[in-house]
Structure 1
Amino acid sequence: MNEVEAVKNRDTIKLISYLLERHFGQQMADVWNIGLNLALRISDLLAIKFSDIDGDRLSIIEQKTGKRASIKLNPKTLALIEAIHQRHPEHIYLFQSHRSSQAKDRQAPAKPLTRRAVAKAFAFVGDDIKLALGTHSMRKTRGYHLYQACKDIGRVMRMLRHQSEAVTLRYIGITQQQIDKDFVELEI
């Protein structure tokens, strides 16, 4: 598995959303845009049910850690979720597989999009724009931009629910060279 990157340029973030919608439809663009705002692992993002959302708060048990995550939803995320719910009021999952909807006639249970489908779409767009893009890119991108805004690695670590600052720095792509640059540029 190749290492994927945080998307560091905001225009590139918007371009990715546009390309996902153009090539794969609104649902895949919604995965990207909501994923950026929730910073969840892909397995947790795809498993979100509308019933996990209460007002402006998402509450789930993370699959990897078994820990409860309670996330306050920002206005952009709330608007995206509401638009999805209006388009598909019968869906159980936020990102419900359309194949699952078609299987409704056969009494098959609803299922979310697969990680594989999302990874394939992201890899296609990443190849197009020459960026190592994958399912972790959303989470890494959110962490990177929060770090750039606050320079508080402890805060980023808590948002990503990591156990160590070193893991978080490596995860969001902050290198020793960038840390050195911060020390040189900030004179007090």
Structure 2
Amino acid sequence: MSYVEPIKTRKHLKHAEKYLKKNHDLAFTLVWNIGIESGLRISDILKLQYRNINLSNGQCKIIESKGTLARRAKAKMRVLKKVKEELLFHYQARGLSKKMSIIYITPPQLIVSFIPKSWESTVNERVKHAIDSASPVTRTFYLSESILITLKQRKQEYKELANDYIFNRQTLSSNRAKGGEGLLTRQACWYVFSKLTAILKEIGVDVKVGCHTLRKSFARHLYFATGKDIGLLMTVIGHQSESMSLRYIGLSKDETELAQKKLIVYLSRKTRI
């Protein structure tokens, strides 16, 4: 994933939205606005279904793909760590020190290659059970009235489509896009959103824009809208440290530059010799 940055002011967010509305399919503007308001990853936005959204009050409930995958990966890793311990005990009991040494230095995620044939079925069942038992990571959020109006209009306009996906390719204005199956892609969104780098540069804003700009912009504006509540930001974004969150929203860089400018002013003051 290429490095991208948040858009730091509401004025510049509106400028970006205005460009998207004027120059691209309205689906891209809708993706953009949902991302800025909710902080969802682009992969989760593109898989949104109308059934996820209460069009009366704006409440949305989804299963987060990345968080769920991470939780399942942790569940699998716990099983593999246990299997590694069992293998060490197994070979120790048989006095096979050479095999013990190999198992000892092998990371848990690679341990399956060293289990006896007679263990394979049981280990696979344990891993599958652990993954299946890991509860999905859910997220509840709200959308603005303006987005709800757009969604209602979109649902009515494309009600003849068989599936419930908001960003079905057949809803796009491009004939080429309509001819394909599936959903609007991340690659298509990147192609459109990355153009905003040049568009914003025209008005003096130096920022690298891409799909993840949506989530980073959400995080930055959430931080300031909540009175710089870093704890809340960390919870919403899923970060483990304040410094990580501050870097994520581009704040540590801002503060460094501001501090250096203050130093220049300080050093420039006239003093008596």
Q: TM-score, normalised by structure 1?
A: 0.82
Note closer, same or farther for the CA distance 1:158–1:80 as it changes in structure 2 (3 Å cut).
Answer: farther
Q: How far is the alpha carbon of 1:25 from its aligned partner?
A: 2.0
Report the 3-state secondary structure (helix = DSSP H, G, I; strand = E; otherwise coil) of the residue aligned with 1:81. helix
Q: In structure 2, what is the equivalent of residue 45 of structure 1?
A: 45
Q: CA 1:57–1:122 in structure 2 vs 1: closer, same or farther (change >3 Å)?
A: same
- Alignment correspondent of 1:151: 228
Unaligned runs of 5+ in 1: none
- How is 1:95-174 mapped onto 2 (pairs within 5 angstroms)? 95-98=167-170, 101-103=178-180, 111-130=182-201, 131-149=207-225, 150-174=227-251
Evaluate the alpha carbon distance shift between residue 26 and residue 65 of structure 1 in structure 2; reply closer, same or farther with a 3 A threshold: same
Unaligned runs of 5+ in 2: 69-136, 171-175, 202-206, 263-273
Larger RCO, structure (CA 8 Å, separation 6 or more): 2
Name the residue aligned to 2:29.
29
1:79 to 145, 149, 155: 149
| Shift in Å, 1:167 | 2.2
How many residue pairs get aligned? The number is: 177
Pairwise CA RMSD of aligned residues?
2.5
> In 2, are the aligned partners of 1:16 and 1:125 still within 8 Å (CA)?
yes
How far is 1:60 from its partner? 1.1
Indicate if the aligned counterparts of 2:30 and 2:147 stay in contact, CA closer than 8 A.
no
The sequence identity of aligned pairs, in percent, is 33
Q: Larger Cα Rg: Structure 1 or Structure 2?
A: 2
Deviates more, 1:36-45 or 1:140-149: 140-149
Identify the structure with the greater helix proportion. 2
User: Structure 1, residues 130-159: CA drift from partner, whole Å, max 9, x if none?
Assistant: 331111111111111111222101111222
* Larger mean Cα displacement after TM superposition, 56-65 or 68-77: 68-77
Would the aligned equivalents of 2:42 and 2:186 in 1 still touch at CA under 8 Å?
A: yes
| CA deviation map 1:51-86 (0-9, x unaligned) | 112343211111111111111333333233223223
The answer to whether the Cα contact below 8 Å between 1:122 and 1:133 also exists between their aligned partners in 2 is: yes
Residue 24 to residue 164, structure 1, CA distance change in 2 (3 Å): same
SS at match of 2:67: coil
Amino acid of the residue matched to residue 59 of structure 1?
K
The aligned amino acid for 2:19 is: L
